[in-house]
């Protein structure tokens, strides 16, 4: 059974357009509440659900709608306010609640928003639970009687709890004294958290992208727009730069020269460090988009490597299947299951800094022996429901590109899970061949998408 509303990362869309309307979100809260209440394992105890959000102006409206729906279903609601997505996962576990809900569209512009759920264990909801919620959405709302309504409570110390949790993942015998770090919070959910974590561990912190106004999330700042990070690192003569995305689960870093490092490179630094310390505990999970150079580097280090479908939920699923702890995406989602139950940009940055402190190296030195293959990604807009992948012209274009690369590269076409896009990715040793091949395939897709 396919899911009607839930995508790879919850329910997401443009605010004011179905399904991101207050009417639907209230019904979603009610449906989720009814499903979660039936999952409670302590008879007679009221189910509790945590709600956190990023800094989008629409978060106020959607928070109120969710709260109303959950309370109507008899659920007690705990409001955390603006906190990162991984903070909701942590607080849900710490407070022993039945579920956590995040109001965020992650790296998307402020006009979008979304609703995503965490289980009591701080992991994404299982598919069967999402299907049960979708089935409940087909039923009418019937508000509980007054004695059966839930209550709402604000968690005043949510930010402080999460800051201490992040710090606890960094070794107590180490600190960040002597480091000047630029921290870019994308004007998002980490604006009042990230800088304090690194400062309290001893670093001299310059904060940018930390003045949200409800509309500027991810706008020119953060992991998806790191040019301001690069400039700030150079301007302030900083040792390192850290950029997070709007909901705090994605990470990009910069060295002292302003050179940027993506998720593959940062994951490599962490994996290499753990291997050297004898703390690897299995292998590493990447995705179909992970750079081929990373795979070859894992082979050289003797670390098992597997690819999952694109999306942190699929990385997590494969990690759990393999019993491994470390995985991630080149987009900057990095999962360290020995530190947290989900991907966390702040905690991932701390794992990189742990490696650098142990090595006594700069980021450029620690990542310098990973020589990334040129990788070109072109996003082609296509109408929803249009199947370009199965078209003979596209298959021929892909086959031609693979012949040109002659076994020294990869071609990958995949539809976006959150936007009406087909992503065309080509990588290989020769940049010119890679760029030409990607453009030829993208041109074929564009013609089909507009015909």
Q: Which residues carry out catalysis?
A: 106
The residue ranges of DSSP E strands in 70-173, in sequence order, are: 76-82, 99-103, 112-119, 152-154
Residue 292, judged by CB atoms within 10 A of its CB (0-12, 13-18, 19+), counts as middle
Of 403, 387, 405, 401, give the one whose Cα is nearest residue 441.
Answer: 401
Q: Hey, CA dihedral for 209, 213, 217, 219, is it positive or negative?
A: negative
Residues contacting 24, CB < 8 A, separation 6+: 18
Residues contacting 404, CB < 8 A, separation 6+: 433, 436, 437
Instruction: Write down how long the chain is.
Output: 451
Q: Is 106 left (phi over 0), alpha (psi -120 to 50) or beta?
A: left
Tokens 């008879």 locate to 43
**Residue 108 tokens, joined:** 């998307």
Listed in sequence order, the DSSP H helices in 237-291 are 263-277
How many whole angstroms separate alpha carbon 393 and alpha carbon 395? 5
CB atoms near residue 200 (< 10 Å): 15
């Amino acid at each position: 059974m396919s899911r009607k509303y839930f995508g790879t990362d919850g329910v997401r869309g443009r605010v004011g357009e179905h399904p991101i309307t207050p009417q639907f979100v209230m019904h979603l809260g009610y449906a989720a509440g009814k499903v979660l209440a039936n999952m409670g394992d302590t008879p007679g105890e009221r189910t509790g659900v945590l709600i956190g959000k990023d800094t989008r102006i629409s978060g106020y409206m959607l928070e109120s709608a969710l709260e109303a729906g959950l309370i109507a279903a008899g659920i007690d609601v705990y409001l955390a306010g603006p906190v990162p997505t991984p903070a909701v996962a942590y607080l849900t576990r710490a407070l022993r609640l039945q579920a956590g809900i995040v109001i965020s569209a992650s790296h998307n512009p402020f006009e979008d928003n979304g609703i995503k759920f965490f289980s009591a264990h701080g992991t994404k909801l299982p598919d069967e639970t999402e299907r049960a919620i979708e089935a409940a959405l087909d039923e009418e709302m019937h508000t509980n009687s007054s004695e059966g309504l839930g209550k709402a409570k604000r968690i005043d110390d949510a930010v402080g709890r999460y800051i201490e949790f992040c710090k606890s993942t960094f070794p107590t015998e180490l600190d960040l004294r002597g480091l000047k770090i630029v921290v870019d919070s994308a004007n998002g959910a980490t604006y009042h958290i990230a800088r304090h974590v690194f400062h309290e561990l001893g670093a001299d912190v310059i904060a940018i992208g930390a003045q949200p106004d409800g509309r500027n999330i991810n706008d020119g700042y953060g992991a998806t727009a790191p040019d301001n990070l690069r400039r700030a690192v150079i301007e302030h003569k900083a040792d390192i730069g850290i950029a997070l995305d709007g909901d705090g689960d994605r990470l990009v870093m910069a060295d002292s020269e302003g050179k940027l490092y993506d998720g593959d490179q940062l994951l490599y630094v962490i994996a290499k460090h753990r291997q050297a310390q004898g703390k690897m505990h299995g292998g590493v999970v990447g995705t179909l988009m992970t750079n081929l150079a990373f795979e070859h580097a894992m082979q050289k280090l003797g670390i098992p490597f597997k690819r999952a479908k694109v999306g942190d939920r699929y990385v997590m699923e494969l990690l759990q299947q393999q019993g491994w702890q470390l995985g991630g995406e080149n987009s900057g989602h990095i999962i360290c299951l020995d530190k947290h139950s989900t991907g966390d940009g702040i905690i991932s940055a701390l794992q990189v800094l742990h490696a650098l402190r142990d090595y006594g190296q700069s980021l450029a030195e620690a990542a310098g022996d990973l020589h990334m293959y040129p990788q070109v990604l072109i996003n082609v807009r296509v109408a929803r429901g249009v199947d370009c992948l199965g078209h003979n012209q596209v298959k021929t274009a892909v086959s031609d590109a693979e012949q040109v690369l002659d076994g020294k590269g990869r071609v990958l076409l995949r539809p976006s899970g959150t936007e009406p896009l087909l992503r065309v990715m080509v990588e290989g040793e020769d940049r010119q061949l890679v760029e030409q091949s990607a453009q030829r395939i993208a041109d074929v897709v564009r013609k089909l998408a507009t015909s």
